[in-house]
Structures are given as C-alpha cells and as structure tokens.
Amino acid sequence: MAVIITVAQQKGGAGKTTLAANLAAALAAERRVAVLDIDPQRSLARWHALRAAQSGAVPLALSDAAGWRLAGELDRLRQGHDILLIDSPPQIATESRIAVRAADLVLVPLQPSPPDLWAAEGTLALAAAERRPARLLFNRAPAAGRLRAEVAAEVARRGWPLLAAALGNRAAIAAAFARGLGITETAPKSVAAAELRAVLAEVGRLLR
C-alpha cells in the first residue's frame, strides 16, 4: 500500500506542482512512485510528458483521473506503488477533498507572504475537517529577512504546523521542471537539491 502525500493550497502559484514534481523525482530513485494530477491545468501531467522524453530519467507512473473515476484510481495506484504524490488545483474542489481525505500527509506550500498565509487557512481547515495531518512548507523563501520572520511568527501565533525545512527561490528548480526533471536529478550538489532532501528527510520522519 502506497503512502499518499497530497500537495494542496488554494492559493494559486504557491508551488504545489513544483513541489510534487521534485519530491516525486527524488523519491523515484529508490521507490516505486506514482503521481496523480487532479488539477485541470494538467501542469504535472505536462511535466511528466516532458520527463518521458528524457532518456535517462527514472520512469514515474502518472494518472490524471478526475471526477467519478478518482476514488477507484486512488485504490488502483495505492496497490502497485510505495509512494503516491497528488497535485491538486488552486481551489477546494470536490477532488481536492477526496485527495486530502486519502492523504497520509498533506503538504501546504506557501510563499512567505500574507496572501499565501491567508489562503493556507482554508486548506489547513480542510485537512483538519478530514482529520489528516498537514504541514505548511515555506517555498521561494529568502534565507532570512523581515517578511519571512513576520509570516513565520504569524504561523506560530496561530499554532499552525510548519516544516523546519524550506525551499528557497531557486531558478534551477524552475529550469529542472521545464525539462521534466527534479532538482536532485539536474543539480544534485546544489543548495536547492540539499533543501529538497531536507524536506524529504523531515517528511520521512513524519510518516514513519
């Protein structure tokens, strides 16, 4: 049975698809990984199509089942894989609920800015309503700076769970995505890859 990680955040552009793709690519080196794209924009599916054209890339299973097919597809994907990563759309649609309900962990990326913070509230509430564990994750975050500190303080004040690991604003991550790859594949020695591995390590500890 696969462990299911759902990436959700109703704020558009927070980094859901980028995070799902990079986690999937990194995990695929050692585990049987499937990705499920339930966003009608199909960005993760397009990333996967680019990946299929990269001769060296470890293959990943992809599904973009939606609507009434989703529940059955979740059961099917759970069977043949170790890890299932689900990328969800930037709103709380019926499919997002199903994906959150199925999750062993919900990851909520947010850029350290007020709109991302405000939008995260609805996603965390959804996870709480479904009784699923959720973690916020800073994405495109400056290593330091006033805004990050202020948003982190607000997260703490609200008692929201935030991963210690974070991803910076890394052009190499966007470049890897454009090739259907993850940062640990294109630039394994980069700071960005180290950040991604730190996220994975923390997620691994949570799921153990």
Please report, as ranges, the residues that interact with ligand ATP according to CB under 6 A.
12-18, 39, 41, 43, 90, 139-140, 167, 169-170, 173-174, 177
Q: What is the DSSP string of 1-58?
A: --EEEEE--SSTTSSHHHHHHHHHHHHTTTS-EEEEE--TT-HHHHHHHHHHT-TTSP
Identify the residue among 2, 3, 16, 186 touching Mg ion (CB under 5 A): 16
Residue 92 or 152: the one with the smaller Cβ distance to Mg ion is 92
For ligand ATP, the closer of residues 40 and 80 by Cβ is 40
- Residue 129 makes CB contacts below 8 A (sequence gap 6+) with none
Distance in Å, CB of 39 to Mg ion, minimum: 5
What are φ and ψ of residue 33, in 5° steps? -115, 135
Binding region for Mg ion (CB under 5 A) out of 15-23, 70-78, 99-107, 184-192: 15-23
> Encoding tokens for residue 38?
């339930």
Which of residues 13 and 188 has its CB atom nearest to Mg ion in the complex?
Answer: 13
Coil vs helix vs strand at 162: strand
Closest CB to Mg ion among residues 17, 186: 17
